[in-house]
Structure 1
Amino acid sequence: MRPGSPALGAASALALALVAIALSADFLSPSPPSTHNLEMPYAPPTRVHWIDTAGRFHLRPFVHRYELVDPLNLRYQERTDAAYPLEFFARAWDYRFAGLIPASRHLIQAGSGGNLFLLGADELGRDVLARTLAGARTSLTVVLVGIVIYAAVGLAIGGLAGMLGGWIDHGLMRFSEFVLALPALYLILALRALLPQGTPYWQTLLVTVGTIALVAWPPMARGIRGLLLQLRSSPYVEAARGLGGTPWQIFSRHMLRELAPFALTQTALAAPIFIMGEVLLSYLGVGFQDTDASWGTMLQKAQDVRVVTDFWWNLAPLPLVFAALLCLNVAAVRGLGRDTARITL
């Protein structure tokens, strides 16, 4: 994973693509992720046509409506008696691009009266593509907030232990060992289950992230503490101390830059924990509510064997979860490949 290697370049491009998808989820969505169409449960992916039933080619692609012909087995038939041209950059529902800029245009829409489910629909007739894109925003927000909390707690506890030493160091390290010994999954499930049903989205997000970060910080803190113990006896730190530098000045001016490579690598290693944690909690039914689209809530449907075999398009978030984990692991491997000081735990 040397700088400039093809694997690193591909992973970086993929990471940027995922971020772009999350920021522009509403623009890319053909319909709102929460819109129900109870007449089309588990509708299959809509076919896009350029050639009509008479064999004529159309420059503007179009779709047909789908009719539920077998309600028991949820079988659909494409009705070719009417065509609905696709509209590009058309106005529809209002949203905020990247959460900031008011907008109402969308990349692609079906013509009036048509339905466009490029990745099919779920059991409530909601657009799987729209929910997958909205889920990317939710799940990547969990990662962003999570690694900020993780890094802040790890740096704070590790920094206090390494800089102050003595009984503070001893107490904080014994506490970190206690956290490492906790059954993490059961603790997360217990803390998350304290939230009642119908909890607001942002409160759910913060509690979900906080419970995961609560059990994830010890490796970062112990590593930071080990590096600081080494740096405290280095010549330039001793010189700064002899010149009257305060502990904060010595830490911020001389030590922090030495900690940065390790901290960034540990943060990259921890990021997949938050993705998998959100997916696992939502899969077990104690994460986000079904009304709040996330990759975990969508993959919860994998518990139904029929969804996996007959309505497989509901597992659309799986490739994105894999791509996100791949990018983060590549970044972590690059960091681990650098020459860093030996860490004393």
Structure 2
Amino acid sequence: MLTRTPQPEEASAVVDDAPVTGGQASPWRLIWRRFRKHRLALVGAVIVLLAYFVVVFAEILAPASPSAVDEKHTYAPPQIVKVDLSWDDGLRFYANGYTTERDPETFEQIHTVDPDKRIPLKFLAKGDSYHLWGLIPGDRHLFGAVHADQKVYFLGSDRSGRDMLSRIIHGARVSLSIGLVGVAVSFLLGLFFGGISGYFGGKPDLTIQRIIEFLMSIPTLPLWLSLSAAVPDEWGPLARYFAITTILSVIGWTGLARVVRGRFFSLREEDFVTAARLDGCSRPRIIFRHMVPSMSSHVIASLTMAVPGMILGETAMSFLGLGLQSPAVSWGVLLQEAQNIRTVESAPWLLIPGVAVFVTVLAMNFVGDGLRDSADPYK
């Protein structure tokens, strides 16, 4: 039976859905092509980008100041946004107000959503003043009450009457930035020690690997707690922020160092490294000009997988009272109020920061898994 041999241009067309024109595809373009086929990774990437968009514009997106206290609305339940459509006024948003009563036995305020009370809402509403990025003054929020004196709690309030949605948005700035800063420091430590271990081998490799094995043999959570407990209580929020970041970074560099060491072992015998060595290139040039760019995709995938661990570490320490403390706002600090079962029973919306942690960490794991599979040349 005769078969037709495909022409060269036909063979190249079926290699990929989007053939490359004008030359060979770069490694990054090949990684992007494989990454696009990972649906969960794409969804996770969108969620992560939205999360960091919220971090950048937290002051505008938050409907109120995270520290604004209202004793009249302690543990107020969430208010649902409703839409009123009419021919005369068009599309209007509103939320029902509260009817407040006091329990005669416990003297606790009980808030009930009153369908007869309406609080008109609009976009770019005027509210609490702020300084965007600490520089630009403003008082406009993305969505809120038309009248600034009316309070709206889209995700309820805490024991001090502070808006939970605003605190979750501002808490994302602290929790997500700790992940990035901690991973940046871990990257420098892992690249330095892993590079020395993998390139030189011998006694430097033996010493560094024994240190890594010692750190990895210690249970992570007790080590976090012991180091964070050593932070003085009189330190302010900024000092504790950098202390917690340093603790997470010092412990989290070991995994990346193992990855870098393995890649250096495999690359130092490659032909292009041997050619650079015979050409008289110095060791720093061989490492940073030839070897590090060749494994950048694997390093990025490892860093992406490390960010969720940093976020969970900060959340765990703050939840147990050994990390960030009020008035600092992070997801772990917000979850401290959810430790009391009786409080959670009467105000279950205090667990919403835990949902934010779960969704963000899961999305980052999907992205890291997709990058790791896409960076594998043998997949």
Output aligned runs, 1:1-345, within 5 Å.
Answer: 2-5=34-37, 6-50=39-83, 59-71=91-103, 72=106, 73-78=108-113, 83-98=118-133, 101-110=136-145, 111-338=147-374, 340=376
Tell me: CA distance 1:276–1:88, structure 2 relative to 1, closer, same or farther (3 Å): same
Q: Distance in 2 between matches of 1:4 and 1:311?
A: 41
AA of the residue aligned to 1:89: L
Per-residue deviation, 1:153? 0.8
AA of the residue aligned to 2:77: P
Q: Distance in 1 between matches of 2:374 and 2:35?
A: 11
Q: Distance in 2 between matches of 1:173 and 1:100?
A: 46
TM-score where L is the length of structure 1: 0.89
Q: Distance in 1 between matches of 2:112 and 2:214?
A: 59
AA of the residue aligned to 2:301: T
Of the structure 1 ranges 235-244 and 121-130, higher mean CA displacement relative to structure 2 is found in 235-244
AA of the residue aligned to 1:167: K
AA of the residue aligned to 2:36: G
Per-residue deviation, 1:340? 4.4
Contact 1:29–1:133, Cα closer than 8 Å, also in 2:
yes
Per-residue deviation, 1:34? 0.7
Of the structure 1 ranges 155-164 and 77-86, higher mean CA displacement relative to structure 2 is found in 77-86
Per-residue deviation, 1:285? 0.7
Per-residue deviation, 1:88? 2.8
Contact 2:57–2:132, Cα closer than 8 Å, also in 1:
yes
Contact 1:117–1:129, Cα closer than 8 Å, also in 2:
yes
Of the structure 1 ranges 27-36 and 321-330, higher mean CA displacement relative to structure 2 is found in 321-330
Note the alpha carbon deviations across 1:234-278, whole angstroms, 9 max, x for none.
221111111100001111121011221221121112111111101
- Specify every segment of 5 or more residues in structure 1 that has no aligned partner in the other structure, as ranges: none
AA of the residue aligned to 1:188: W
Q: Distance in 2 between matches of 1:298 and 1:194?
A: 22
Note the alpha carbon deviations across 1:189-247, whole angstroms, 9 max, x for none.
12212223353222212111211222221121122112212222222111111110000
Larger radius of gyration: 2
Note the alpha carbon deviations across 1:265-314, whole angstroms, 9 max, x for none.
21112111111101111110111113211111112222111233321111
Of the structure 1 ranges 198-207 and 294-303, higher mean CA displacement relative to structure 2 is found in 198-207
- Specify every segment of 5 or more residues in structure 2 that has no aligned partner in the other structure, as ranges: 1-32
Note the alpha carbon deviations across 1:155-181, whole angstroms, 9 max, x for none.
011112222333222211111111112
Give the SS at the match of 1:217.
Answer: helix
Note the alpha carbon deviations across 1:19-60, whole angstroms, 9 max, x for none.
111112111112100111122210111244556xxxx98843
Give the SS at the match of 2:71.
Answer: coil
Per-residue deviation, 1:325? 1.2
Contact 1:227–1:341, Cα closer than 8 Å, also in 2:
no
Of the structure 1 ranges 78-87 and 329-338, higher mean CA displacement relative to structure 2 is found in 78-87
Give the SS at the match of 2:68.
Answer: coil
Q: Distance in 2 between matches of 1:100 and 1:169?
A: 48
Identity %: 31
Tell me: CA distance 1:282–1:219, structure 2 relative to 1, closer, same or farther (3 Å): same
Contact 1:23–1:99, Cα closer than 8 Å, also in 2:
no
Per-residue deviation, 1:16? 1.2
Runs of 4+ in 1 over 6 A off after TM superposition: none
User: 2:7 maps to which residue?
Assistant: none
Contact 2:297–2:375, Cα closer than 8 Å, also in 1:
no
Contact 1:65–1:114, Cα closer than 8 Å, also in 2:
no
| CA RMSD, 1 decimal | 2.5
Contact 1:193–1:286, Cα closer than 8 Å, also in 2:
yes
User: 2:25 maps to which residue?
Assistant: none
Q: Distance in 1 between matches of 2:204 and 2:44?
A: 41
TM-score where L is the length of structure 2: 0.82
Per-residue deviation, 1:148? 0.4
